[in-house]
Structure 1
Amino acid sequence: MAAVAPAPFVSILAPTTLSLPDAVWRGDQLGSHRSTPVATGHSDLDKELPGGGWPPSVLIELLLAQHGIGELRLLAPTLGPLTQNGKTVILLAPPHIPFAPALKQLGIDLKHVVLVNVDKPADRVWAVEQALKSTSFGAVLCWLPLVKTEHLRRLQLAAAGGEGLVFAFRPLSARDQSSPSPLRLTCQAAADGKISVEVFKRRGPAHAEPIVLPLPVPLNLIKPFAARAAAVPTFNFSSHAVDRHSLAATAARRRTALTI
Protein backbone atom coordinates (compact mmCIF):
# COMPACT_ATOMS: atom_id res chain seq x y z
CA MET A 1 0.00 0.00 0.00
CA ALA A 2 1.45 3.34 -1.06
CA ALA A 3 2.20 5.84 1.68
CA VAL A 4 0.09 8.99 1.72
CA ALA A 5 2.07 12.21 1.73
CA PRO A 6 1.31 14.39 4.76
CA ALA A 7 -0.60 17.61 4.15
CA PRO A 8 1.56 20.73 4.15
CA PHE A 9 1.72 22.53 7.48
CA VAL A 10 0.14 25.98 7.52
CA SER A 11 0.86 28.24 10.45
CA ILE A 12 -2.16 30.10 11.74
CA LEU A 13 0.20 32.79 12.93
CA ALA A 14 1.49 33.55 9.45
CA PRO A 15 0.47 36.88 7.93
CA THR A 16 -2.61 36.68 5.77
CA THR A 17 -4.23 38.92 3.21
CA LEU A 18 -7.73 37.55 3.72
CA SER A 19 -10.35 40.28 3.81
CA LEU A 20 -12.47 40.25 6.94
CA PRO A 21 -16.16 41.15 7.14
CA ASP A 22 -17.16 44.49 8.62
CA ALA A 23 -18.17 42.91 11.91
CA VAL A 24 -14.64 41.48 12.40
CA TRP A 25 -11.61 43.68 12.90
CA ARG A 26 -8.08 43.25 14.21
CA GLY A 27 -7.45 44.79 17.61
CA ASP A 28 -4.45 46.81 16.45
CA GLN A 29 -6.25 48.31 13.44
CA LEU A 30 -9.23 50.57 12.93
CA GLY A 31 -12.34 48.68 11.90
CA SER A 32 -14.76 49.47 9.09
CA HIS A 33 -18.49 49.61 8.51
CA ARG A 34 -20.74 48.23 5.81
CA SER A 35 -21.89 51.73 4.79
CA THR A 36 -19.66 54.52 3.54
CA PRO A 37 -18.68 56.82 6.43
CA VAL A 38 -19.64 60.49 6.27
CA ALA A 39 -16.83 63.03 6.69
CA THR A 40 -16.99 64.99 9.94
CA GLY A 41 -15.57 68.16 8.42
CA HIS A 42 -12.65 67.93 10.87
CA SER A 43 -9.63 66.18 9.35
CA ASP A 44 -8.00 65.46 12.72
CA LEU A 45 -11.16 63.73 13.92
CA ASP A 46 -11.62 61.77 10.67
CA LYS A 47 -8.20 60.22 11.18
CA GLU A 48 -9.31 58.72 14.49
CA LEU A 49 -12.65 57.29 13.32
CA PRO A 50 -12.97 53.86 11.66
CA GLY A 51 -13.39 54.39 7.94
CA GLY A 52 -12.44 58.07 8.22
CA GLY A 53 -15.77 59.58 9.25
CA TRP A 54 -19.10 59.21 11.05
CA PRO A 55 -20.38 55.64 10.50
CA PRO A 56 -24.01 55.36 9.29
CA SER A 57 -26.36 52.67 10.57
CA VAL A 58 -24.90 52.65 14.10
CA LEU A 59 -25.61 54.48 17.33
CA ILE A 60 -22.99 57.18 17.95
CA GLU A 61 -22.78 58.50 21.50
CA LEU A 62 -21.53 61.99 22.28
CA LEU A 63 -21.08 62.43 26.04
CA LEU A 64 -21.23 66.11 27.01
CA ALA A 65 -19.76 67.79 30.05
CA GLN A 66 -22.63 70.27 29.70
CA HIS A 67 -25.06 71.43 27.05
CA GLY A 68 -24.22 74.29 24.72
CA ILE A 69 -20.45 73.67 24.46
CA GLY A 70 -20.62 73.57 20.67
CA GLU A 71 -22.08 70.13 19.98
CA LEU A 72 -24.24 71.40 17.10
CA ARG A 73 -21.35 73.38 15.64
CA LEU A 74 -19.26 70.22 15.85
CA LEU A 75 -21.80 68.40 13.67
CA ALA A 76 -22.66 71.35 11.40
CA PRO A 77 -20.11 70.44 8.65
CA THR A 78 -21.90 67.08 8.41
CA LEU A 79 -25.50 68.25 8.80
CA GLY A 80 -25.19 71.09 6.29
CA PRO A 81 -24.49 68.95 3.20
CA LEU A 82 -27.15 66.44 4.26
CA THR A 83 -29.90 69.07 4.35
CA GLN A 84 -28.65 70.71 1.16
CA ASN A 85 -29.05 67.34 -0.55
CA GLY A 86 -32.65 67.12 0.61
CA LYS A 87 -32.08 64.80 3.57
CA THR A 88 -34.05 65.40 6.76
CA VAL A 89 -32.27 66.15 10.04
CA ILE A 90 -34.38 65.38 13.10
CA LEU A 91 -33.66 67.09 16.43
CA LEU A 92 -35.39 65.08 19.12
CA ALA A 93 -35.91 66.57 22.59
CA PRO A 94 -33.08 69.15 22.65
CA PRO A 95 -32.71 70.85 26.07
CA HIS A 96 -32.97 74.27 24.39
CA ILE A 97 -34.55 75.43 21.14
CA PRO A 98 -31.68 75.88 18.65
CA PHE A 99 -31.08 79.40 17.31
CA ALA A 100 -32.40 79.08 13.77
CA PRO A 101 -30.43 82.02 12.20
CA ALA A 102 -27.18 80.53 13.51
CA LEU A 103 -28.00 77.11 12.04
CA LYS A 104 -28.76 78.76 8.72
CA GLN A 105 -25.41 80.57 8.68
CA LEU A 106 -23.70 77.25 9.42
CA GLY A 107 -25.05 75.97 6.09
CA ILE A 108 -28.00 73.97 7.45
CA ASP A 109 -31.13 74.21 5.31
CA LEU A 110 -33.92 74.77 7.83
CA LYS A 111 -36.53 73.44 5.40
CA HIS A 112 -35.14 69.98 6.07
CA VAL A 113 -34.87 70.29 9.87
CA VAL A 114 -37.59 68.76 12.07
CA LEU A 115 -37.81 69.58 15.78
CA VAL A 116 -39.58 67.03 18.00
CA ASN A 117 -40.35 67.70 21.68
CA VAL A 118 -40.70 64.66 23.95
CA ASP A 119 -40.63 64.73 27.74
CA LYS A 120 -40.63 61.19 29.16
CA PRO A 121 -37.46 59.09 28.71
CA ALA A 122 -39.41 56.03 27.47
CA ASP A 123 -41.29 58.18 24.97
CA ARG A 124 -37.99 59.53 23.64
CA VAL A 125 -36.73 56.02 22.86
CA TRP A 126 -40.00 55.20 21.09
CA ALA A 127 -39.84 58.47 19.11
CA VAL A 128 -36.27 57.75 17.99
CA GLU A 129 -37.27 54.28 16.81
CA GLN A 130 -40.12 55.74 14.79
CA ALA A 131 -37.84 58.36 13.25
CA LEU A 132 -35.32 55.70 12.22
CA LYS A 133 -38.02 53.88 10.24
CA SER A 134 -38.11 56.76 7.77
CA THR A 135 -36.03 56.21 4.64
CA SER A 136 -35.58 59.92 3.96
CA PHE A 137 -33.77 60.97 7.13
CA GLY A 138 -30.13 61.94 6.89
CA ALA A 139 -29.41 62.23 10.61
CA VAL A 140 -31.24 61.89 13.91
CA LEU A 141 -29.93 63.84 16.90
CA CYS A 142 -31.49 62.79 20.19
CA TRP A 143 -30.85 63.99 23.72
CA LEU A 144 -31.05 61.13 26.22
CA PRO A 145 -30.15 62.30 29.75
CA LEU A 146 -31.78 59.19 31.26
CA VAL A 147 -31.72 55.97 29.28
CA LYS A 148 -31.35 52.30 30.19
CA THR A 149 -28.88 49.91 28.58
CA GLU A 150 -31.69 47.82 27.11
CA HIS A 151 -33.10 50.95 25.47
CA LEU A 152 -29.71 51.67 23.92
CA ARG A 153 -29.71 48.14 22.49
CA ARG A 154 -33.09 48.83 20.92
CA LEU A 155 -31.76 52.03 19.36
CA GLN A 156 -28.65 50.28 18.09
CA LEU A 157 -30.81 47.64 16.41
CA ALA A 158 -33.09 50.29 14.95
CA ALA A 159 -30.11 52.26 13.63
CA ALA A 160 -28.75 49.15 11.91
CA GLY A 161 -31.90 48.95 9.80
CA GLY A 162 -31.35 52.37 8.22
CA GLU A 163 -28.75 54.27 6.22
CA GLY A 164 -28.62 57.53 8.18
CA LEU A 165 -26.51 58.90 11.02
CA VAL A 166 -27.74 58.52 14.59
CA PHE A 167 -26.26 60.70 17.34
CA ALA A 168 -27.23 60.33 20.99
CA PHE A 169 -26.23 63.11 23.40
CA ARG A 170 -25.73 61.82 26.93
CA PRO A 171 -24.15 63.26 30.09
CA LEU A 172 -20.43 62.80 30.66
CA SER A 173 -21.20 60.74 33.77
CA ALA A 174 -22.43 57.94 31.49
CA ARG A 175 -18.87 57.21 30.36
CA ASP A 176 -18.38 54.38 32.87
CA GLN A 177 -21.70 52.77 32.00
CA SER A 178 -21.82 49.88 29.54
CA SER A 179 -23.26 50.62 26.13
CA PRO A 180 -23.80 48.64 22.91
CA SER A 181 -22.78 51.66 20.85
CA PRO A 182 -19.63 50.85 18.81
CA LEU A 183 -18.53 54.51 18.78
CA ARG A 184 -18.48 56.71 21.89
CA LEU A 185 -16.87 60.14 22.31
CA THR A 186 -16.61 62.65 25.13
CA CYS A 187 -16.94 66.36 24.38
CA GLN A 188 -15.76 69.14 26.68
CA ALA A 189 -15.30 72.87 26.24
CA ALA A 190 -11.76 74.05 25.47
CA ALA A 191 -10.09 77.46 25.39
CA ASP A 192 -10.84 80.04 22.68
CA GLY A 193 -14.24 78.59 21.88
CA LYS A 194 -12.84 75.21 20.81
CA ILE A 195 -14.03 71.76 21.79
CA SER A 196 -12.04 68.84 23.18
CA VAL A 197 -13.10 65.45 21.78
CA GLU A 198 -11.89 62.08 23.02
CA VAL A 199 -12.70 58.87 21.15
CA PHE A 200 -12.69 56.45 24.08
CA LYS A 201 -14.55 53.59 22.36
CA ARG A 202 -14.19 52.56 18.74
CA ARG A 203 -13.45 49.52 16.60
CA GLY A 204 -9.72 49.67 16.91
CA PRO A 205 -6.89 50.44 19.35
CA ALA A 206 -7.42 52.81 22.24
CA HIS A 207 -7.24 56.50 21.39
CA ALA A 208 -4.15 58.20 22.83
CA GLU A 209 -5.38 61.66 23.84
CA PRO A 210 -8.22 64.15 23.24
CA ILE A 211 -8.36 66.20 20.05
CA VAL A 212 -8.91 69.94 20.36
CA LEU A 213 -10.95 71.13 17.41
CA PRO A 214 -11.78 74.68 16.29
CA LEU A 215 -15.48 75.24 15.69
CA PRO A 216 -17.22 77.44 13.12
CA VAL A 217 -18.90 80.49 14.64
CA PRO A 218 -21.89 82.08 12.85
CA LEU A 219 -21.54 85.78 12.11
CA ASN A 220 -24.68 86.61 14.07
CA LEU A 221 -22.95 85.20 17.16
CA ILE A 222 -19.55 86.78 16.59
CA LYS A 223 -20.80 90.36 16.99
CA PRO A 224 -22.51 89.84 20.39
CA PHE A 225 -19.48 87.95 21.71
CA ALA A 226 -17.12 90.68 20.50
CA ALA A 227 -19.27 93.43 21.98
CA ARG A 228 -19.46 91.63 25.30
CA ALA A 229 -15.68 91.15 25.40
CA ALA A 230 -15.03 94.85 24.60
CA ALA A 231 -17.68 96.22 26.96
CA VAL A 232 -16.52 98.58 29.75
CA PRO A 233 -17.44 97.33 33.24
CA THR A 234 -20.44 99.19 34.65
CA PHE A 235 -18.98 99.37 38.14
CA ASN A 236 -15.67 100.27 39.72
CA PHE A 237 -14.16 97.58 41.89
CA SER A 238 -12.21 100.13 43.97
CA SER A 239 -15.42 101.89 45.02
CA HIS A 240 -16.55 98.67 46.70
CA ALA A 241 -13.42 98.24 48.80
CA VAL A 242 -14.08 98.16 52.54
CA ASP A 243 -12.47 100.90 54.66
CA ARG A 244 -12.19 99.22 58.05
CA HIS A 245 -11.58 102.50 59.92
CA SER A 246 -14.66 104.16 58.42
CA LEU A 247 -16.71 101.05 59.11
CA ALA A 248 -15.64 101.04 62.75
CA ALA A 249 -16.44 104.73 63.13
CA THR A 250 -19.89 104.28 61.61
CA ALA A 251 -20.62 101.39 63.96
CA ALA A 252 -19.52 103.46 66.95
CA ARG A 253 -21.85 106.35 65.99
CA ARG A 254 -24.69 103.84 65.53
CA ARG A 255 -24.15 102.43 69.04
CA THR A 256 -24.06 105.96 70.53
CA ALA A 257 -27.34 106.87 68.83
CA LEU A 258 -29.03 103.77 70.16
CA THR A 259 -28.03 104.51 73.76
CA ILE A 260 -29.31 108.09 73.77
Structure 2
Amino acid sequence: PHKPPTLQPAMSWQEDDPSPATAPLRPPRPLRPPRQLGSGLPAAVAAALWRGDQLGAPVSTVWSSGFAALDAQLPGGGWPGHGLTEILTPHSGTLEWRLLGPVLRQVCAAGQPVVVVGPPLPPHLPGLRLEGLDERQLVWVQADTPAERLWSAEQLIKAQACGALLVWLPQARPEQIRRLQVLAAGFDAPVFVCRPARALGESSAAPLRVRAAVGPDWALHIHMAKRKGPPLETPLHLSAVPGALAPFLTPRLRLPSRWTHHPETEHVVVRPSAQPDEHRHSAAH
Protein backbone atom coordinates (compact mmCIF):
# COMPACT_ATOMS: atom_id res chain seq x y z
CA PRO A 1 0.00 0.00 0.00
CA HIS A 2 1.07 3.53 -0.69
CA LYS A 3 2.32 5.43 2.30
CA PRO A 4 0.54 8.77 2.77
CA PRO A 5 2.80 11.78 2.36
CA THR A 6 4.11 13.36 5.53
CA LEU A 7 3.33 17.05 6.00
CA GLN A 8 6.36 19.08 6.99
CA PRO A 9 6.05 22.34 8.92
CA ALA A 10 6.86 25.45 6.98
CA MET A 11 9.49 26.41 9.61
CA SER A 12 11.30 24.41 12.24
CA TRP A 13 13.32 25.71 15.15
CA GLN A 14 16.76 24.36 15.78
CA GLU A 15 18.20 24.03 19.24
CA ASP A 16 20.61 26.86 18.62
CA ASP A 17 17.91 29.14 17.22
CA PRO A 18 16.12 31.51 19.53
CA SER A 19 12.62 30.42 20.44
CA PRO A 20 9.62 32.60 19.60
CA ALA A 21 9.44 33.63 23.24
CA THR A 22 13.07 34.80 23.32
CA ALA A 23 13.28 36.16 19.77
CA PRO A 24 14.07 39.89 19.65
CA LEU A 25 11.00 42.06 19.14
CA ARG A 26 10.84 44.49 16.30
CA PRO A 27 10.49 48.14 17.30
CA PRO A 28 6.85 49.22 17.10
CA ARG A 29 5.76 51.29 14.18
CA PRO A 30 5.21 54.95 14.98
CA LEU A 31 1.54 55.74 15.46
CA ARG A 32 -0.04 58.02 12.94
CA PRO A 33 -1.71 61.11 14.33
CA PRO A 34 -5.48 60.74 14.51
CA ARG A 35 -7.26 62.02 11.50
CA GLN A 36 -9.25 65.13 12.17
CA LEU A 37 -12.97 64.86 11.66
CA GLY A 38 -13.86 66.32 8.28
CA SER A 39 -10.27 66.51 6.95
CA GLY A 40 -9.97 65.83 3.25
CA LEU A 41 -13.70 66.41 2.69
CA PRO A 42 -15.37 69.18 0.70
CA ALA A 43 -15.97 72.31 2.71
CA ALA A 44 -19.75 71.93 2.60
CA VAL A 45 -19.56 68.36 3.90
CA ALA A 46 -16.97 69.16 6.57
CA ALA A 47 -19.12 72.03 7.85
CA ALA A 48 -22.07 69.68 8.31
CA LEU A 49 -20.06 67.26 10.51
CA TRP A 50 -19.81 67.73 14.23
CA ARG A 51 -18.38 65.92 17.23
CA GLY A 52 -20.69 64.81 20.00
CA ASP A 53 -18.67 66.67 22.64
CA GLN A 54 -18.83 70.01 20.81
CA LEU A 55 -21.57 72.40 19.80
CA GLY A 56 -22.69 72.01 16.22
CA ALA A 57 -21.32 74.50 13.73
CA PRO A 58 -23.86 76.69 11.95
CA VAL A 59 -24.92 75.29 8.59
CA SER A 60 -27.67 77.87 8.07
CA THR A 61 -28.64 81.35 9.12
CA VAL A 62 -28.97 81.96 12.86
CA TRP A 63 -30.60 84.80 14.76
CA SER A 64 -29.30 86.10 18.05
CA SER A 65 -31.59 85.31 20.98
CA GLY A 66 -30.84 88.68 22.59
CA PHE A 67 -29.27 86.94 25.62
CA ALA A 68 -25.50 86.56 25.50
CA ALA A 69 -25.51 83.61 27.90
CA LEU A 70 -28.10 81.79 25.81
CA ASP A 71 -26.31 82.47 22.51
CA ALA A 72 -23.17 80.90 23.96
CA GLN A 73 -25.08 77.63 24.52
CA LEU A 74 -27.05 77.52 21.28
CA PRO A 75 -25.47 75.67 18.33
CA GLY A 76 -24.23 78.31 15.92
CA GLY A 77 -24.69 81.11 18.44
CA GLY A 78 -28.40 81.78 18.05
CA TRP A 79 -31.83 80.49 17.08
CA PRO A 80 -31.37 78.39 13.95
CA GLY A 81 -33.23 78.29 10.68
CA HIS A 82 -33.85 75.15 8.60
CA GLY A 83 -35.31 73.28 11.54
CA LEU A 84 -37.77 73.28 14.40
CA THR A 85 -37.12 74.72 17.84
CA GLU A 86 -39.40 73.48 20.60
CA ILE A 87 -40.18 75.87 23.46
CA LEU A 88 -41.50 73.92 26.46
CA THR A 89 -43.13 75.89 29.28
CA PRO A 90 -45.29 75.00 32.31
CA HIS A 91 -47.80 77.76 31.46
CA SER A 92 -48.34 78.39 27.76
CA GLY A 93 -48.91 81.86 26.42
CA THR A 94 -46.70 83.98 28.71
CA LEU A 95 -43.07 82.87 28.94
CA GLU A 96 -42.77 82.35 25.17
CA TRP A 97 -43.05 86.09 24.52
CA ARG A 98 -40.47 86.96 27.17
CA LEU A 99 -37.99 84.42 25.79
CA LEU A 100 -38.55 85.06 22.08
CA GLY A 101 -39.25 88.79 22.27
CA PRO A 102 -35.70 89.89 21.32
CA VAL A 103 -35.49 87.71 18.21
CA LEU A 104 -39.00 88.69 17.12
CA ARG A 105 -38.00 92.31 17.53
CA GLN A 106 -35.14 91.73 15.08
CA VAL A 107 -37.48 90.15 12.55
CA CYS A 108 -39.92 93.07 12.78
CA ALA A 109 -37.09 95.59 12.47
CA ALA A 110 -36.04 93.88 9.24
CA GLY A 111 -39.53 94.41 7.81
CA GLN A 112 -40.47 90.73 7.92
CA PRO A 113 -43.83 89.52 9.27
CA VAL A 114 -44.08 87.45 12.44
CA VAL A 115 -46.92 84.93 12.24
CA VAL A 116 -48.40 83.36 15.37
CA VAL A 117 -50.73 80.39 14.97
CA GLY A 118 -53.17 79.32 17.69
CA PRO A 119 -51.83 81.16 20.77
CA PRO A 120 -53.70 80.19 23.96
CA LEU A 121 -54.26 83.89 24.74
CA PRO A 122 -54.90 86.73 22.29
CA PRO A 123 -51.74 88.77 21.68
CA HIS A 124 -51.76 91.92 23.83
CA LEU A 125 -50.67 94.59 21.37
CA PRO A 126 -49.82 97.33 23.92
CA GLY A 127 -47.60 94.93 25.83
CA LEU A 128 -45.92 93.69 22.65
CA ARG A 129 -45.36 97.28 21.60
CA LEU A 130 -43.44 97.88 24.82
CA GLU A 131 -41.26 94.88 23.90
CA GLY A 132 -40.34 96.63 20.66
CA LEU A 133 -42.61 94.57 18.40
CA ASP A 134 -44.33 96.45 15.60
CA GLU A 135 -47.97 95.36 15.50
CA ARG A 136 -48.01 96.10 11.76
CA GLN A 137 -45.62 93.18 11.27
CA LEU A 138 -47.64 90.80 13.48
CA VAL A 139 -50.09 88.35 11.90
CA TRP A 140 -52.38 86.35 14.17
CA VAL A 141 -53.91 83.18 12.72
CA GLN A 142 -56.83 82.14 14.92
CA ALA A 143 -56.80 78.34 14.66
CA ASP A 144 -58.68 76.51 17.41
CA THR A 145 -58.35 72.82 16.56
CA PRO A 146 -55.07 70.86 16.31
CA ALA A 147 -55.80 70.05 12.67
CA GLU A 148 -56.22 73.74 11.81
CA ARG A 149 -52.98 74.65 13.55
CA LEU A 150 -50.99 71.93 11.82
CA TRP A 151 -52.45 72.77 8.41
CA SER A 152 -51.76 76.49 8.85
CA ALA A 153 -48.18 75.88 9.97
CA GLU A 154 -47.48 73.54 7.08
CA GLN A 155 -48.83 75.99 4.49
CA LEU A 156 -46.85 78.90 5.93
CA ILE A 157 -43.64 76.87 5.91
CA LYS A 158 -44.18 75.61 2.37
CA ALA A 159 -44.87 79.12 1.09
CA GLN A 160 -42.04 80.66 3.19
CA ALA A 161 -44.51 83.44 3.90
CA CYS A 162 -43.02 84.92 7.10
CA GLY A 163 -39.84 85.97 8.81
CA ALA A 164 -40.59 83.91 11.93
CA LEU A 165 -43.30 81.43 12.83
CA LEU A 166 -44.73 80.61 16.27
CA VAL A 167 -47.25 77.80 16.49
CA TRP A 168 -48.81 76.33 19.64
CA LEU A 169 -49.23 72.55 19.41
CA PRO A 170 -50.04 71.21 22.89
CA GLN A 171 -51.37 67.88 21.59
CA ALA A 172 -49.03 67.18 18.67
CA ARG A 173 -48.01 63.59 18.05
CA PRO A 174 -44.39 62.58 17.30
CA GLU A 175 -45.16 61.87 13.64
CA GLN A 176 -46.69 65.33 13.24
CA ILE A 177 -43.60 66.98 14.72
CA ARG A 178 -41.46 64.91 12.37
CA ARG A 179 -43.46 66.09 9.37
CA LEU A 180 -43.04 69.73 10.40
CA GLN A 181 -39.31 69.17 10.87
CA VAL A 182 -39.00 67.79 7.34
CA LEU A 183 -40.79 70.83 5.94
CA ALA A 184 -38.83 73.28 8.12
CA ALA A 185 -35.54 71.86 6.81
CA GLY A 186 -36.16 73.84 3.62
CA PHE A 187 -37.32 77.02 5.39
CA ASP A 188 -34.82 79.81 6.03
CA ALA A 189 -36.67 81.51 8.89
CA PRO A 190 -36.84 80.22 12.47
CA VAL A 191 -39.83 78.05 13.36
CA PHE A 192 -40.81 77.80 17.03
CA VAL A 193 -43.22 75.12 18.23
CA CYS A 194 -44.63 75.93 21.67
CA ARG A 195 -45.62 72.93 23.75
CA PRO A 196 -46.33 72.20 27.44
CA ALA A 197 -43.49 71.10 29.69
CA ARG A 198 -45.00 67.63 30.09
CA ALA A 199 -44.17 66.96 26.41
CA LEU A 200 -40.52 66.76 27.44
CA GLY A 201 -41.04 63.06 28.16
CA GLU A 202 -42.15 62.40 24.57
CA SER A 203 -39.86 61.75 21.63
CA SER A 204 -39.43 64.60 19.18
CA ALA A 205 -37.69 65.07 15.84
CA ALA A 206 -36.95 68.72 16.62
CA PRO A 207 -33.15 69.18 16.75
CA LEU A 208 -33.43 71.85 19.46
CA ARG A 209 -35.65 71.66 22.56
CA VAL A 210 -35.57 74.37 25.22
CA ARG A 211 -37.48 74.29 28.50
CA ALA A 212 -38.26 77.66 30.09
CA ALA A 213 -39.61 78.29 33.59
CA VAL A 214 -40.12 81.37 35.73
CA GLY A 215 -37.43 82.28 38.23
CA PRO A 216 -36.84 84.89 40.93
CA ASP A 217 -36.00 88.51 40.15
CA TRP A 218 -37.98 88.40 36.90
CA ALA A 219 -35.58 85.83 35.51
CA LEU A 220 -36.10 82.85 33.23
CA HIS A 221 -34.65 79.43 34.00
CA ILE A 222 -33.56 77.80 30.74
CA HIS A 223 -32.80 74.10 30.44
CA MET A 224 -31.34 72.69 27.23
CA ALA A 225 -33.35 69.50 26.86
CA LYS A 226 -31.92 68.68 23.43
CA ARG A 227 -29.32 70.27 21.22
CA LYS A 228 -26.58 69.37 18.79
CA GLY A 229 -23.78 69.07 21.29
CA PRO A 230 -23.02 67.94 24.85
CA PRO A 231 -25.75 68.20 27.49
CA LEU A 232 -25.90 71.35 29.60
CA GLU A 233 -25.74 70.31 33.24
CA THR A 234 -26.51 73.70 34.82
CA PRO A 235 -29.64 75.67 33.83
CA LEU A 236 -29.23 79.20 32.54
CA HIS A 237 -30.65 82.18 34.43
CA LEU A 238 -31.68 84.97 32.08
CA SER A 239 -32.86 88.39 33.20
CA ALA A 240 -36.08 89.09 31.32
CA VAL A 241 -38.11 91.85 32.94
CA PRO A 242 -41.39 92.40 31.03
CA GLY A 243 -41.36 95.67 29.16
CA ALA A 244 -44.61 96.81 30.76
CA LEU A 245 -43.19 96.40 34.30
CA ALA A 246 -39.66 97.73 33.82
CA PRO A 247 -40.56 101.43 34.34
CA PHE A 248 -42.42 100.67 37.60
CA LEU A 249 -39.96 98.35 39.37
CA THR A 250 -38.10 100.05 42.20
CA PRO A 251 -34.69 98.85 43.36
CA ARG A 252 -36.35 97.38 46.44
CA LEU A 253 -38.55 95.13 44.29
CA ARG A 254 -35.46 93.88 42.47
CA LEU A 255 -33.77 92.66 45.66
CA PRO A 256 -33.04 88.92 45.39
CA SER A 257 -33.75 88.36 49.11
CA ARG A 258 -37.41 89.19 48.64
CA TRP A 259 -38.08 86.29 46.30
CA THR A 260 -38.37 82.58 46.92
CA HIS A 261 -38.54 80.17 44.00
CA HIS A 262 -40.53 76.96 44.24
CA PRO A 263 -39.55 74.76 41.28
CA GLU A 264 -42.17 72.15 42.13
CA THR A 265 -44.96 74.67 41.57
CA GLU A 266 -43.19 76.93 39.05
CA HIS A 267 -44.33 80.01 40.98
CA VAL A 268 -42.56 82.89 42.67
CA VAL A 269 -43.68 83.72 46.19
CA VAL A 270 -43.11 87.19 47.67
CA ARG A 271 -42.35 87.13 51.39
CA PRO A 272 -42.26 90.30 53.54
CA SER A 273 -39.04 91.06 55.34
CA ALA A 274 -38.88 90.19 59.06
CA GLN A 275 -39.61 93.06 61.44
CA PRO A 276 -37.25 93.95 64.28
CA ASP A 277 -38.11 92.63 67.74
CA GLU A 278 -38.79 96.08 69.17
CA HIS A 279 -41.39 96.72 66.47
CA ARG A 280 -43.17 93.50 67.30
CA HIS A 281 -43.01 94.34 71.03
CA SER A 282 -44.50 97.79 70.55
CA ALA A 283 -47.20 96.38 68.31
CA ALA A 284 -48.17 93.94 71.07
CA HIS A 285 -48.80 96.84 73.47
TM-score (norm. length: structure 2): 0.71
**Contact in 1 for aligned 2:218/2:241 (Cα 8 Å):** no
Deviation of 1:169 after TM superposition, in Å, equals 0.6
Greater relative contact order structure (CA < 8 Å, 6+ sep): 1
1:24 corresponds to 2:45: no
Aligned twin of 1:214? 239
Question: Where do 5+ consecutive residues of structure 2 fail to align?
Answer: 1-28, 254-285
Distance 1:150 1:9, change over 3 A: farther
- The match for 1:200 is 225
The Cα offsets for residues 58-94 of structure 1, whole Å up to 9 and x where unpaired, read as 1000111112442202111111121121111001000
Task: Judging by fraction of residues, say which structure has more helix.
Answer: 1
Two-structure CA RMSD over aligned residues (Å): 2.3
Counterpart selection for 1:40 from 50, 57, 65? 65
Q: Report the alpha carbon displacement of residue 17 of structure 1 after superposing the two structures with TM.
A: 6.3
Alpha-carbon spacing, 1:30–1:222, altered in 2? closer, same or farther (3 Å): closer
User: CA 1:17–1:79 in structure 2 vs 1: closer, same or farther (change >3 Å)?
Assistant: same
Superposition deviation, residue 123 in structure 1: 2.1
The answer to whether structure 1 residue 125 and structure 2 residue 150 are counterparts is yes
Paired residues of 1:106 and 1:216 also in contact (CA < 8 A): no
Distance 1:33 1:125, change over 3 A: farther
**Cα contact 1:69–1:188 (8 A) shared by 2:** no
- TM-score normalised by structure 1 residue count: 0.77
Q: 2:180 is matched with which residue?
A: 155
CA displacement 1:150-169 (0-9 Å, x = unmatched): 10011101111111010011
Cα distance between partner residues in 2 of 1:121 and 1:17:
42
Q: Structure 1 unaligned segments of length 5 or more: list them.
A: 1-7, 230-260
1:58 pairs with 83, 86, 92, which one?
83
For each residue in 1:208-256, what CA deviation from the matched residue of structure 2 results, as whole angstroms up to 9, or x when unmatched? 211011114223x457888xx8xxxxxxxxxxxxxxxxxxxxxxxxxxx
1:104 aligns with 2:135: no
- Percent identity for Structure 1 against Structure 2: 37
Looking at structure 1, the residues matched to 182 and 47 of structure 2 have their Cα atoms a distance apart, in angstroms, of 16
In the TM superposition, what is the alpha-carbon distance from 1:9 to its structure 2 partner? 9.4
